[in-house]
Structure 1
Amino acid sequence: MESVEHCHKTSVIHRDLKPENLLLASKAKGAAVKLADFGLAIEAENDKPSWYGFAGTPGYLSPEVLRKEAYGKPVDMWACGVILYILLVGYPPFWDEDQQKLYNIIKHGKYDYPSPEWDTVTHEAKDLINRMLTIDPNRRITASEALKHAWIANRERVASSVHRQQTVDSLKKFNARRKLKGAILTTMLVSKNFSTFREKSQSQGAVQAKAAGRSSKKDDGIKESSDGSTIEDDDVRARKQEIIKLTEQIIEAIQKGDYETYTQICDPHLTCFEPEAFGNLIHGMDFHKFYFDNANKGNKARNTIVNPYVHLIGEDTAVIAYVRLTQFINSSGLPVTQQSEETRVYQRKESKWQHIHFHRSGSPSMPAK
């Protein structure tokens, strides 16, 4: 809760709080708890609720997200309520094999405290859960308020000290089911993504058409997914894939010495920081054109994008960060691999993405751009 409070004080919303994103620093008793996986985290604008897209993990999504309403920091507190419920009895407050039924249960906040496992849980613990799982986000308890709640602030007096062996056993079963489902889901995603990647690489139009087709299957635009997996809406996923594809096209154009394709994707006023510029900010295309005119075209270097991360800023701006591995045979006939960290900024102008800024650190690739 202290980690969540820290995030919220800096206007960061995690959006994907769940047990598997809570880590222990070590196996020692009393080890520090670490909050992990900020892949879906966003920075709230002016701390005002807004629609930041459909993202999270099904069983931990808040009612306002499922209703596709403006949301903010309270979504994290709802997820904390789900986590606390699970930690106390070993099973989630909301559950149904049918995902749409699950969403309907969450929207109406339908949960209870069945006997006998909840009989030994104190009133204060249940009260904290109730305040976290309040449907109205404006009335939901905040992280700072939760830290002052009696069950946390006065644990010695109000928290039960009974060892909950049944909860431990239930948690082990819950974790086993989660891992099994995760393994099955991963296998499904790998096979699905491999096939869809080939389809998406045919054209950007195919990406958008396919995304639109999926979204039209449901009125609410919610993507089907197994419980326990992080999801994003199809429009966001499609736009991110589009940025990755554009970046691959830029690197391919550099590889082939195709200046025409390069200029079609890059803004004429492209700015860049890169080692060849000795720390200077370069503006325009002349610096880049030099390499296309003088580098060996069609060299046999192989470029691979590793760990791409796309951050969408509104509808018309995107940033991609990734590691670029370049493999080639040097003058001595030996295989060499170089690595660089790259960031590219894109802006959509007249319905077309344009590459407007580039930053690279690390070893230069071949050719340099």
Structure 2
Amino acid sequence: MAGGELFDRIVAKKFYNELDARDCIRSILSALSYIHHGKIAHRDLKPENLLLATLTNDNDVKIADFGFAKKCSTTNCLKTQCGTPGYVAPEILEGKKYDYAADMWSIGVIMYIIIGGYPPFYEDNQNLLFKKIKRGDYEFHPEFWNDISPEAKDLIGRCITVDPKKRISCADAVSHPWMGRDKRILSGQDLAKNLQQFKRFNAKRKFKAGVKTVMAHNRMKNLMEGLRAAADEENGNTDSKDGPPSY
């Protein structure tokens, strides 16, 4: 995937409008529709798992990381609680059985970010975050959403619907009226303000990912040092050298 992460490509844009967002989301929905048609639920849709095949085509989006993916041949056939905070569906948090509809919730959250520039559910405290998700407690803030097409907000709302039985399917989302909206109209909907918000959100997301990587590295380093120390003690090698502590 030579193009890297989709969100990084959006951040690099100098100009951004609703047509750009719509075409990008159409590509994601097309890929997810293919997956669902094969009776597979992804179960971990998030920005890090949306990649671009090339450096030149902004809409050649690929869905990656099928570590949590599962065959789902019947309704509500899944029960494992998995996913990523902020993108996980309320039925999963509630411990209920679920199916493909959980992916559509995640797509709704991603759509909200791609258009609005920030997530619909955000709390530093994870318990509070999960409470908001379970209630479907979000809004379209006028500062960023007043000029967005009603059809775009309707599609997001149909995805971020707490009751999975009432949530739109991927096949219906692909044929939603917003997908067929006139290109000239959508290209005139400038998202410059939203793009600036998007850049701030993405920078914070990347920073958190970097912190987690460093923490994981340090945990592994400490584990290996502990194992070596235990092995030395077992072999009778108790020599030590003075020096600074290892971090």
Of 94, 109, 112, the residue aligned with 2:139 is 112
Q: Deviations over 1:15-41 (max 9, x none)?
A: 111122111111224541111111111
SS in 2 for 1:60: coil
Instruction: Please identify the structure whose Cα radius of gyration is greater.
Output: 1
Other-structure match for 2:64:
36
1:102 aligns with 2:129: yes
One-letter identity of the residue aligned with 1:63? P
C-alpha separation between the residues in 1 aligned to 2:110 and 2:190?
Answer: 19
1:13 aligns with 2:44: no
Of 56, 61, 71, the residue aligned with 2:98 is 71
One-letter identity of the residue aligned with 1:117? F
Gaps of 5+ in 2: 1-28, 228-247
Q: Deviations over 1:101-131 (max 9, x none)?
A: 0000000000001121111111111100000
Other-structure match for 2:148:
121
SS in 1 for 2:66: coil
Structure ranking higher in helix proportion: 2
Q: 1:31 to 1:127 in 2, by over 3 A?
A: closer
Structure ranking higher in strand proportion: 1
C-alpha separation between the residues in 2 aligned to 1:16 and 1:196?
Answer: 28
C-alpha separation between the residues in 2 aligned to 1:31 and 1:82?
Answer: 19
Other-structure match for 1:86:
113
Other-structure match for 1:173:
200
1:131 aligns with 2:158: yes
1:22 aligns with 2:50: yes
Q: Name the TM-score, length of structure 1 as normaliser.
A: 0.51
CA RMSD between the two structures:
2.1
Q: 1:80 to 1:155 in 2, by over 3 A?
A: farther
C-alpha separation between the residues in 1 aligned to 2:168 and 2:221?
Answer: 43
Matches within 5 A, 1:206-355: none
Other-structure match for 1:189:
216
**Could you tell me how far 1:153 is from its partner in structure 2?**
2.7
Higher RCO by CA contacts (8 Å cutoff, separation 6 or greater):
2
C-alpha separation between the residues in 2 aligned to 1:82 and 1:127?
Answer: 13
- Paired residues in the alignment total 199
1:48 aligns with 2:107: no
The percent identity for this pair of structures is 38
Q: Name the TM-score, length of structure 2 as normaliser.
A: 0.75
**Could you tell me how far 1:144 is from its partner in structure 2?**
0.4
